[in-house]
Amino acid sequence: MNDLLFQKIKEYVKLQEGDIELLNNYFQCKQILKGDFLFKEGDAVNYAIFVKSGLFRTYVVDEQGTEHIMQFAFPGWWTGDLGSFISGETTKFFVEALENSEALTISKKSWDELLDKAPFYLDYHRKLLERGLVATQNRLLEAYSTDATKKYLHLIESFPDILQRVPLYMIASYLGMSRETLSRVRSQLTTEK
């Protein structure tokens, strides 16, 4: 029932007898319809979110009212707002379901208890953080050193099915460019080949 989570954890650490039962006690399953929000700006996000099925986007709205998509979260990924989760402060992010989705949630209190009780979970979390930090650093580097066309090509290489699941204007926002620019990038790529 929470198979995907177990499978993901097993990619990082070894599980012992009983670990899976232990985990089951800590997570709650939630259904979210397309277009609905897990949370919005101003909420205190005192829980973590694991995507079981479907798809989510995390974005902020800046002072000019422009949306900036920070993350797409596919099944097997974590999403939410780490900053709000660890500090207790309110979030500036929105997390919206782009498809009918299922998510596992775990409260901050349960989370801390789990880290305390289950060394394997601590280890899993640490490795996840390490990889997450490296990935974010790489994205930052890409933002500074790469032009629009290369960013787009890199994205569809990394997530080949994203074009089938996400409208282009959201992809543009994720890549830090306007919809019009992405449109022109794409038309140039098709005519050139």
Residue 176 as a binder of DNA (CB under 7 A): the answer is yes
Of 8, 92, 154, 186, the residue at the interface with DNA (CB under 7 A) is 186
Which residues 6+ apart lie within 8 Å of 97 measured at CB?
A: 32, 33, 34, 35, 36, 37, 38, 54, 55, 56
17: phi > 0 → left, psi -120 to 50 → alpha, else beta; which? beta
Cβ–Cβ under 8 Å, residues 162 and 128: no
C-alpha separations of 95 from 10, 42, 119, 168 in Å: 27, 12, 30, 18
Which CB sits closer to a second copy, 20 or 82?
82
Residue 100 as a binder of DNA (CB under 7 A): the answer is no
Cβ–Cβ under 8 Å, residues 100 and 54: yes
Residue 117 as a binder of a second copy (CB under 8 A): the answer is no
Taking the complex as a whole, how short is the minimal distance between the CB of residue 34 and a second copy, in angstroms?
A: 25
Taking the complex as a whole, how short is the minimal distance between the CB of residue 88 and a second copy, in angstroms?
A: 13
Of 7, 66, 187, 188, the residue at the interface with a second copy (CB under 8 A) is 66
Which positions touch DNA (CB under 7 A)? 64, 66, 147-149, 167-169, 176-187
Which positions touch a second copy (CB under 8 A)? 60, 62, 66, 68, 70, 82-83, 86, 122, 125-126, 129-134, 136-141, 143-145, 176
